[in-house]
Structure 1
């Protein structure tokens, strides 16, 4: 088993002067002890559950993710989210309290304890930082001298020591895993269906050399940048060339196109190409899944036929004298009755029909069947086997039709991609190859000359960017191949973990397979033998909680013995089908009890069946249940449902008391 990281486990969380949580006019001082297993913070909407989870991640990383940004590579997370992080707590904390407000987090990692205090301004600073251990007398023993260190130095020390204890090569990678993989928050970012998230998660998880994981991410970022720069420069060149067209009126004897029209045409070509490339990739994946299913069904049919032969041999044993008779064998071979001389196919059919009866077909003497009951049971099994073979053959025929249809789609998309690629190439090459005559107007000719110089500059810049991109691709593809190989080595442990967790939620056997192309490597989910390449191919609750199951599986697979990690889940109960509520509770409980991992979760009390199921399976030894009613006042609307809230809380407490 891989087990290469010491993930963190929360121990205590304290919030000071966090004025969002106000009870009867006074700021509530949050002091939470986080026990092993599941910590669940439950309450009505609007009380600040998500804010508390975000505050913890802010304390650990100094970052709050901007919900309007997609998943970024590790090196981009801090720079692209710092403005949002700086503003996030404005309004949540009163201006008068902001200076003194802070979050204090104590967590364990690699048998050591870290304590950090981070303010809600100056996010790149720490007010306090210490590392300590607990001796046999339960006394804290300091392991690091942080005296005379500035707040910024404390923050840098924290990042350095945390990375060392966890096992990541860089703090950026801790941030990536903490915020994108180990946290499922209100933004609902998916790993299964996001290429960038997938290849970063896999390159970190399945890589024998941590330095290569860094290279994969950095190369992908640089390739994307060069491609973007190349496209932007190409468009600048095209716009300038269009200005030249307007001045000369002599391009291919055609009236010059309007810039806006040309821009739309150019962008549409790229958009269409991207769409068809994506469709081609997804349909190829689904086509491959169908071919695997075809192979699997053929294997099942062969197995059923083999079983049929064995069963029939047992059934026919008492009749072996008839079956092995030279006259019978000769009659069947020649299709001619050895008694009356009749000839034809019907002779064979008649012999085969009567030969298996309980008496000799000629003299009607009973055949000695020592156990007629067993023979009858065998015949029933044979009949069931025949039905199964027939059903599998029908399923195979239907699959053949689906495969033929999918093959046509793949071929269609391949043609579209090839056609669009050719059009873009022609579009790019059309203008540079033209030479423009002078207009005879000195001022216009000078302007054309300036435009031509600008065009040459952007044209060269575009070509150079694409060349730089292409230089990086061989190394990038080699690193992706290494990730794929490492995944194959680890999937014997990782995949069964995922399948168990996923089945406890969805009730079906699932498969996940790696898929690598020139741009990325990702995991493809297969449900009921069908590849689900797009999130829309599953219900909202299915895709959310299967993605959570994937994250849990990665944490279990990667965490070292005696160093369980913590999942942070803002439960998406609003999307949860009623039928799935208790099953989610089962999956969460499996994660905490069977695999000894930890979970910090927030939940709306409306998802009571989920919480009751979880409480029953975890019990008080593995679950802490906290009510947000103790932290803050209810709104007028919430007060109207307070009795209902109380009943739900009581039901959950009862489930905890009678749980494991």
Structure 2
């Protein structure tokens, strides 16, 4: 759908071209048991995936984001910088941990996801395997003008090359400066997921979003992001060094008190203090040595267990081989493991019945098979083999006894090791606390009446303190330099926001007031403290400042935050903007559900698109949106076509059918 003429000013001069999601395809995604190879074409402005709790709606959105960005959205998502966030969220272990609970072991090696992205001049189809790293495994690039399609990888390309090519193409098509900015926009602005992260009340993330939306260009946004990160690090380093300087100052004061004779007299002589210290050192050393011995004993027990396990396997294999060779001779029956176990335990090795050994032995003594009463061959021609079977049987029994002993021994040693480790840690902590408390007294005891030695220690510590203070000052100077550089970017952003707010703020008001039905306004707040920098949007409702998220109700803050994302995305985008929303309709009453549906409809009316998920319930949000969009503007996909309902849900399946029918009725 093309953007319609409206009161919203033309924003075609913006530098960021955001992609439209055209298709999502999953391969061997067996969380969706009825359709593990889902392929969904996004045909209409509103795509609504609707289903019951626990069927995988949130997983669908997270998988889309993973495929597009190579990172799973972090629900805790404390933002410091785009680069730091991507470094954490893009770790392979995070994505593997996420999908491990959703994809079966059988499908791990073959599960993948593909998303097709569209711009006005190009289409990208990107595929990532769900396990084995976060790189791109397949990439298709279509030039819309020429119609040519380049499919990768070719035989000479590996995943790193392909991922780099994908990143470069994303930057070329979006106009962004680095891929971390794209990940930030997708996770923090374009996605409102189950984590319910609130952009409006996260000043660090909001500052980065404002730079991308209102800044002169993405290069400036990247530079400001880097300066903010480095400024924060210099402040942190300065504070850490200052803390070290204060700790040294405390030690200097203790020693100075000794020289002045003002130290507290606790009637403990220097010799006694030194003796206590020596005893604590010896105790800590003994505890450490015992811990190391127990660690070595545990390793030795593990090695013995490994050797005995190998010996047992070898003996059992040899026994089976020899017994198999003798199987045709009925005389080997009495040496069969089941028969021997039955005789030794007086319990049938097949059915578990007890007191049967005498009956089995009587059959054997008569030369009969205890199972079928056949006459046994007593020719005795295999005496050597029987003897070897007896030897192996004894060997297996001996090894099993040894294994049982080793198991008991290892359990004991493991407990002893844990106790020794705890003792060592306690001794080390007691020594540390003693040295910290009695630092001055120990110096006095070790120097005796030689006060010059104490003065030398004070002089040494003073040099150390001055070095710490000099380092701290250097870090603060560096922080101030960075802050001054950052101020020029902040000044430019502030001016650009003031110009852009004439378009952005009215659109935000229009969307949020359509939901909340009360006057809303936002003002840009510029933080300019010594250790503080950046921006926030301070919201007013009914002319009352709502500076904290808890100053509005849960439903209000969720949908006001979604309205902010809509306004920001729409403002920064050259063309259509797309949002991914895990709908928080459970927090709304009926009246607000309907108004939220109207807010979404107003957003897509400007040519934008929404991929949404919602619970299958009698939701006025879905019904209002369906009634406004109709079947031409809204595509509803039933998750019950993808996967099975739970037992509880199946018992109420008629309710789900009624809910589906209500939505279908609103669409048509």
What is the match of residue 106 of structure 1?
Answer: 116
CA distance in 1, matches of 2:613, 2:31: 17
**In the alignment, does 2:49 pair up with 1:41?**
yes
Q: CA deviation at 1:615?
A: 0.8
Please point out which of 50, 71, 86 is paired with 1:77: 86
Contact 1:112/1:131, CA 8 A, preserved across alignment: no
CA distance in structure 1 between the partners assigned to 2:242 and 2:666 by the alignment: 63
The more displaced of 225-234 and 154-163 is 225-234
Larger Rg: 2
User: What CA deviation, in whole Å up to 9, does each residue of 1:99-144 have, x standing for no partner?
Assistant: 211111111123311011101224342x544344477999967799
Cα offset for 1:154? 0.4
Aligned equivalents of 1:138 and 1:2: distance in 2? 26
Tell me the distance in 2 between the aligned counterparts of 1:92 and 1:620: 35
Deviations 1:65-107 (A, max 9, x none): 3323412311443246526624433532423321211111111
- Flag the 1:491–1:453 CA change in 2: closer, same or farther, 3 A: same
In structure 2, how many angstroms separate the alpha carbons of the residues matched to 1:250 and 1:487? Answer: 66
Shift of 1:147: 5.5
Among 199, 211, 230, which residue is 1:203 paired with?
A: 211
**Mapping of 1:466-505 within 5 angstroms?**
467-469=478-480, 471-473=482-484, 475-476=486-487, 478-505=489-516
Tell me what 1:523 maps to.
537
User: What residue in structure 1 maps to residue 402 of structure 2?
Assistant: none
Unmatched 5+ stretches in structure 2: 1-11, 267-448
Q: Is the 2:110–2:129 contact (alpha carbons within 8 Å) kept by the matching residues of 1?
A: yes
Superposed counterparts of 1:231-630, under 5 Å: 233=244, 237=248, 440=451, 442=453, 446=457, 449=460, 453=464, 456-457=467-468, 460-461=471-472, 464-465=475-476, 467-469=478-480, 471-473=482-484, 475-476=486-487, 478-508=489-519, 521-561=535-575, 564-579=576-591, 581-606=592-617, 608-630=619-641
Structure 1 residues 164, 134: CA separation in 2 closer, same or farther (over 3 Å shift)? closer
Decide whether the 8 Å contact of 1:498 with 1:550 is kept in 2: no
CA RMSD of aligned residues (A): 3.9
Residue 532 (structure 1) shift: 1.0
- DSSP 3-state at the match of 1:65: coil
Alpha-carbon displacement from aligned partner over 1:536-575 (angstroms, at most 9, x marks no partner): 11001101110100001111112213xx121011112232
**Does residue 1:121 correspond to 2:131, yes or no?**
yes
Q: Answer with 442-451 or 37-46: which moved more.
A: 442-451
- TM superposition score normalised by structure 2: 0.61
Using the size of structure 1 for normalisation, the TM-score is: 0.62
Show structure 1 runs of 5+ residues with no match. Answer: 256-437
* Shift in Å, 1:240: 5.8
Q: State the alpha-carbon separation in 1 of the partners of residues 157 and 262 from structure 2.
A: 68
Q: Is the 8 A contact 1:237 1:456 kept in 2?
A: no
Is contact 1:570-1:603 (8 Å) kept? yes
Query: Residues of 2 paired with 1:87 and 1:236: CA distance?
Result: 44
Do the aligned residues in 2 keep the contact of 1:618 with 1:656 (CA within 8 Å)? no
Distance in 2 separating the partners of 1:65 and 1:599: 18
Deviation at 1:208, TM superposition (A): 1.7
Secondary structure at the aligned position of 1:99 is classed as coil
Q: Distance in 2 between matches of 1:517 and 1:461?
A: 18
Distance 2:524 2:589 in 1: 23
- Find the aligned partners of 1:537 and 1:529 in 2 and give their Cα distance: 13
C-alpha distance 165-90 of structure 1, shift in aligned 2 (>3 A): closer
CA, structure 1 residues 236+157, in 2 after alignment: closer, same or farther (shift >3 Å)?
farther
Please report how far the alpha carbon of residue 657 of structure 1 lies from its aligned counterpart in structure 2 after TM superposition. 4.9
Equivalent in 80, 89, 101 of residue 92 of structure 1: 101
**Count of aligned pairs:** 468
Contact kept in structure 2, 1:40 and 1:623, CA below 8 Å? yes
Residue number in structure 2 paired with 1:358:
none
Matches of 1:9 and 1:171, distance apart in 2? 17
CA positional deviation for 1:13: 1.0
SS in structure 2 opposite 1:67?
Answer: coil
1:14 aligned residue: 25
Q: Is the 8 A contact 1:494 1:554 kept in 2?
A: no
Deviation sequence 1:32-59 (CA, Å, 0-9, x none)? 1112311111122211111111111111
